[in-house]
Each structure stands twice: as C-alpha cells, then as structure tokens.
Amino acid sequence: MFLLLFLFFLSVNALSNYHESYTGKRISEEEYKEHVKQNTSFWCTNEILPCHPLEGRRVDGSCNNLKYYTLGAVHTPQYRILPPEYSRDDRGFEPKLTKRGNDMPLPRAVRTNVLLEGHLSDRRFTQLLTHFLVHVPGDFLSLHDTVNYVQWKPYCCTEKGKQDNMCIPIKVPDEDPVHRFSGIRCFNLTRPESFQSARCRPNNTLPERIVTSTPALDLSNIYGNNMKLLNEKGRLFKGGLLKFEMVNGAVWPPSIKGPANLCYGNHPPMETRCHDTPESGANSVLGSNLFSIWTWRYHNVIANALAAINPCWDDERLFYTSREINIAVTYQIFLYEALALLMGQHNLINAGVLSPGLGFRDIYDDNLAPQVSMEFPFVLRWFHTLQEGILRLYDEKGYHLRDDRITNMTLRTGYLVDNLPYVTQGAFRQPSAKLDYAIDSDMAQTVLTHHQRASDVFTSDLTKNRYFFFPSYVKYREFCFHNKYRRFEDLVDAIDPERIELLREKYTDVEDIDLIVGLWLERPISGGYVPPTLYCISVVQLVRTIASDRHWYERPNRPNAFSFEQLLEIRKSTIASFMCTVGDSVTEIQPQAFLRAGPGNEIQSCDHIDRLNINAWYDHTCSRKPH
C-alpha cells in the first residue's frame, strides 16, 4: 500500500504540466518549486495542459503546433534568419567590432549624418496607416525594454549606471548638431531583456531575447497571453462580451479604479482614465491605444450581433467565435490592405503572402515551429521614419480644429476621453509623413517627452541593432538578393550614390554597415514603398507565420474553421468598414482609408461601404423546436 502511494506520487511528479520556457522541456513539480523559490517561474516556466488536436486557438499560444507544442507560447525563443555576430570582453557579450577590429562608429553620429530632420506630408498615405502599423507589432513583441530604462533602471547615464551591466548609455558626440547647444552628452538605454537577464539561462551563454507576446498573429495584445488574465480582466462572462464601460455614450475598455500608475502621461486631475485590460497595449503609445479601444469594441459588436441571430449560443461559444472573427478581420486588413499598399499586392501574391483568390488556402506545415525571427520585429522599426509628430484634430464635417503632438500622448489614455472623436476624424484625414529620407523632429529629439529630457528613437533603434548582434547589412543583402558587396560602389544597385557617400563618411568598410542604416537609405522596392531588404525579411516571416499556424483563418481544415461563406464575409473587411463600425462619430469615410481621400477615393456615407454580414454565422439549429 505504502509503495503504491509512493509510486502514485512519483507519477504525479513526472506528469507535472510545467515546462521550461527556453527548452520546452517538461519539468517536475520539485523543479518548478525551485523556480518559484528563485522567483524565476514567471519568465522561465510555462504551465501547459495536455494538447487536444480538436481544440481551438489557446490564449497562451501553446499547442498551436502539436509536435512542438510549447513553442508558440509566451517567453519561448525566437529564431534568427542569419547567425549572430558579436565580440566578447570582461563585460560579457558585446556588439561586434568593425572588420578592421575597431569600435563601431557612434550610433548618434551615424544617425545624424544619414537621416535628415524635417517635415513633408505624404501624398498617398493617412495617419490611420501609421497608427495601425504601431498597433499590429504589439501582437508579437513587447514594450518592456522601454519601460526598463525609463522606469526600472532610470540611471544609465549616471555614475550608478557604470556599475549596472544592463546599462548601455548612448554617447552623444560633442559636435552633435542639436546637443552641442543643450549640454546633453548621453541618452539612457538598457540592454534588451533576455533569457539570461531573466535568469533562465546562464550568463556565459549568448543573450537571447525574451518577449511577452505570443509569436502568432492572434491579437495577444488585446486578449492577453494567458487564460487567467483574460478571465480576470477581459471577459464579462455574459453574452460573449469583453468587460466594458460607457463613456460619453460610447463603449470603452474598463478603467482602473484608483491611482492610475500605468498612465504616467495623464494630466490629473482632469485626465484619470487608464485601462485595466489583459495587456498593456491599451495604455501605451497613441496608435496602440486607439486600436486597442477600437478592437475591444469590435469584439463586442460581433458578440452582440452573433447573440442576436443565435439565441441558443452560450457565452463561451459567443466569446470564442467573436475572438476568431476579430483576429481574422484584423489580419485580413493588415495583409490584404495595409501590406498590399505598402509592399505591392502583386509582389505579395507572388511571394505567397497573399492568396490570389477569395477562397480558402492551406499552406500549413507542421514541421515548421510557430516562431518569430529576431529580425522581423526589428526591421519594422524602419516604420518610425513614417511617423508624423503633429496630431491634427478634425470634426466630423472635416474642419480642422487644432494640433497636438503625438509624442505627448504616450501613456496618456486620459487624454482620449474628450478627444477621441477628433483624433479619429483626423486619423483618416491627415497625411502620414512622407516616405523619404527625412524624419520627424519630435521622433528624433523628444520621443519620450517628459519621461526623458531627450531621446532619439532612431539612435536607440541603431544601438539595439548592435545589441541584437545582427550581422551587417550586406550579409542580409546577400541572403535576400544573392549579390556580393566588396566595395561601397557595389551598393549602387540598392542605394543612390549621394547616400552611399554619407555611409562612406561614417564606415570604413562596406561590411561594417548596420542593418537598420542600410534600410534607412535603400531605394524602395518596385511596386511598393518599403526598402527591399525590409520586404525580404518580412516575407520570410509572414510566409512562415501563415504556414506554421494551425489556426490560421484562411485554412479550411482546422478546429472551428470558417465556412466558405463566412470566409467571404471576412474578405470584405476593410479599414473603412472597421472604422464605420467602431470609430467615434464616423458616419462617412473614404473607401480606402489608409489612402488620402481624393478623386476615385471620395469620402462617402458609411451606408455605401461594404461590411461583413453576420448572417453567414446564422445557426439553424437555434430555431429548431426543443423535443
């Protein structure tokens, strides 16, 4: 009897559902307790209940791939398109040296040399596109690296920073075009969080990035990345709805009661609103805040519509069907509208990112692990060059009311309570910044406003480029286009000669050019507006993301798959129809709302904008008479 009991406990131990997040290895109850004791359980372990082939998409991303069921969950490793390059010294792993063995040129000096500051409006794109491009990456990366040096380790430029290995302050050269007048000689920055800094891996191994989102395109920036958070802060458990509050007659995510310590940018006592949702994207930079509110509302619009046509559906079914539709609509708009405009529809069809037809497609491959590359979220930082600093507010008749500054809206959810209708109207009326080689001054000087005296998002991006240990720009060119680059002149196939000169002023060898700097200066892709190397890295990722996601919305053979008729309704989704459904005071809009209104794209009544018809989800069994 004793022995039986003993064996029983042993097998319970062996059958723990805890896994190491880095290796995916199952660990025992004892090993898990050790993590709790060391306070490493949050980052370094995942509890994963046994997978079922017929279950739907999990909130935590696990069991997406049944072979590699831990990958896909939060805090699991990314992969690299090209192997890392770095140097080592007594501090540990450091950025690589130049080809000749010297330190790389100062990031701020490179940045101010190659990117001009200035202001030109784009003739094609609206601010709504830049807001959306801020929102979507929140689904597969995380913001904690910024919080780190602003809030947790705010001392990197001081003496104390010299003692903290996580600090990597950015040196501002004496002859800096702006700061030779300000006296500022340092920008605060910390190293990217890694499995090593989270104490999941030993410090003598190469730092590997750890992020807080799931790698799938699953709106984890809205629904959160674990069931407990979703149930506590998300679900109302009634009618399939997300929790909500009515403010000025509109639906909003719930707000924190009491001190809003996340919304550092609020101007009290007037501005108090701060969202209490499963993810911090709802109190973040402006674009992310806006789309969090709209996407939150969209869920509830769908849930109410489903409940009205299918009275026999319970809360669970309404909730998860609404979530499926919400995810599908967001990525239909992202791929078939936003990226098609930016990267070229034909390019993306040829590359296999977009389906050529309206029907199903199934490129699922269960040998591919659901993972995001290190490079993909990083190259999206190029879109910072598109960000306009001025926020123009309009009324619903299209009259310009006043201007504010986008960078002032960060972590300032309270600002939106009175201004959301005007910000919304402005989003599809105001142009984005021009896609040129110039950047907005706010983004380049004061991007973190009152949180830092000075901060330059482009210089931070370049510094991070080096701490992510990416090989040089020309290695990515070789990977993507199979060209060899031995001398600066060889770059003429990618970069205009006068910009090659700018590079030559800062780098001694062509092999030293940093990846992001190459992206900044490349001529755009034919048929689109983005740098070809950004395009290449994005396509590699998107094809993999679609092929490795068992629950991808265009698949016919998956648990809870859409019917053909339902998929056709998803395909009707556009950013214009989305804004007509959830945008404050939006009663008219141009049909292609990522593009400026004008001939062929006139602002018109929402009644003329095609929308998803929920009747495709009508369930005949609800009307059957009970026996």
Ligand X SMILES: *[C@@H]1O[C@H](CO)[C@@H](O)[C@H](O)[C@H]1NC(C)=O
User: In the complex, which residues of this chain contact ligand X (CB under 6 A)?
Assistant: 39, 42, 154-155, 157-158, 165-166, 184, 187-188, 196-197, 199, 203, 405, 408, 446, 449-450, 452-454
Residue 454 CB, shortest distance to ligand X, in Å, is: 4
What angle is formed at CA 340 by the lines to CA 337 and CA 342, rounded to 5 degrees? Answer: 105
| Rounded Cα gap, residues 386 and 307, in angstroms | 41
| Rounded Cα gap, residues 485 and 339, in angstroms | 29
Residue 198 CB, shortest distance to ligand X, in Å, is: 7
384 is in an annotated binding site: yes
Give the nearer residue to ligand X in terms of CB position, either 196 or 371: 196
Residue 40 CB, shortest distance to ligand X, in Å, is: 8
Residue 287 CB, shortest distance to ligand X, in Å, is: 17
Helix (H) or strand (E) holding 405: strand 400-405
Q: What DSSP string runs through 199-212?
A: TSS-TTSPP-B--S
| Rounded Cα gap, residues 567 and 329, in angstroms | 10
* Helix intervals (H) in 95-143: 107-114, 127-135
Give the nearer residue to ligand X in terms of CB position, either 127 or 295: 127
Give the nearer residue to ligand X in terms of CB position, either 348 or 406: 406
Residue 626 CB, shortest distance to ligand X, in Å, is: 50
| Rounded Cα gap, residues 84 and 78, in angstroms | 13
CB 210 within 8 A of CB 198: yes
Helix, strand, or coil (residue 167) = strand
Give the nearer residue to ligand X in terms of CB position, either 77 or 192: 192
Count how many residues are written for the chain: 627
Give the nearer residue to ligand X in terms of CB position, either 113 or 452: 452
Residue 123 CB, shortest distance to ligand X, in Å, is: 28
| Rounded Cα gap, residues 145 and 284, in angstroms | 13
Rounded to whole angstroms, what are the CA distances from 436 to 42, 336, 440, 527? 43, 24, 11, 16
| 505's tokens | 């002023």
| Rounded Cα gap, residues 539 and 545, in angstroms | 10
CB 156 within 8 A of CB 190: yes
Residue 405 CB, shortest distance to ligand X, in Å, is: 5
Q: What is the dihedral of CA 160, 165, 167, 170, to 10 degrees?
A: 110
Residues paired with residue 393 on neighbouring β-strands, in sequence order = 402
Rounded to whole angstroms, what are the CA distances from 3 to 6, 15, 28, 396? 5, 18, 20, 76
Give the nearer residue to ligand X in terms of CB position, either 147 or 500: 147
Q: What DSSP string runs through 17-57?
A: -EEETTT--B--HHHHHHHHHHT-HHHHEEE-PPP-TT---
Give the nearer residue to ligand X in terms of CB position, either 464 or 544: 464
Give the nearer residue to ligand X in terms of CB position, either 124 or 453: 453
Give the nearer residue to ligand X in terms of CB position, either 179 or 544: 179
Give the nearer residue to ligand X in terms of CB position, either 38 or 102: 38
| Rounded Cα gap, residues 295 and 528, in angstroms | 27
**Reduced to 3 DSSP states, what percent helix, strand and coil does the chain have, rounded to the nearest 5?**
40, 10, 45
Residue 89 CB, shortest distance to ligand X, in Å, is: 15
- Nearest to residue 119, comparing CAs of 399, 392, 436, 498? 436
Residue 166 CB, shortest distance to ligand X, in Å, is: 5
- Nearest to residue 608, comparing CAs of 582, 583, 576, 584? 576
Give the nearer residue to ligand X in terms of CB position, either 57 or 153: 153
Q: What DSSP string runs through 568-583?
A: HHHHT--HHHHHHHHS
Whether the CA torsion 91, 96, 102, 104 is positive or negative: it is negative
Residue 160 CB, shortest distance to ligand X, in Å, is: 9
Give the nearer residue to ligand X in terms of CB position, either 400 or 405: 405
| Annotated binding-site residue numbers for heme b | 384
Known binding-site residue numbers: 384
